[in-house]
Amino acid sequence: MVLLGAATLCAAPAADAQLKLGKAVNAISKGVQAMTLTDEQMAAYVKESVDWMDTHNKVCDANDPYTIRLNKLTEGLKDADGIPLNFKVYDVIDVNAFACPDGSVRVFSSLMDIMSDDELLGVIGHEIGHVAKHHSKKAMKNELMTGALRDAVSATGGIAGALSESQLGALGQSLVGAKFSQKQEKEADDYGYEFLKSHGKNPWGMVMAFEKLEGDNSSAKKSSYVQKMFSSHPETQERIKRLSERAAKDKIERPASN
Q: Which residues are catalytic?
A: 127
* Strand 79-80 with 83-84, pairing: antiparallel
13: Cβ contacts below 8 Å, ≥ 6 apart: 91, 92, 93
* Angstrom distance (rounded) from CA 149 to CA 28: 10
Q: Which amino acid is at 126?
A: H
Collapse the DSSP code of 85 into the 3-class scheme (helix H, G, I; strand E, B; otherwise coil) and give the result.
coil
> Rounded CA gap, 107 and 139, in Å?
19
Best CA proximity match to 90, nearest among 24, 23, 12, 18: 18
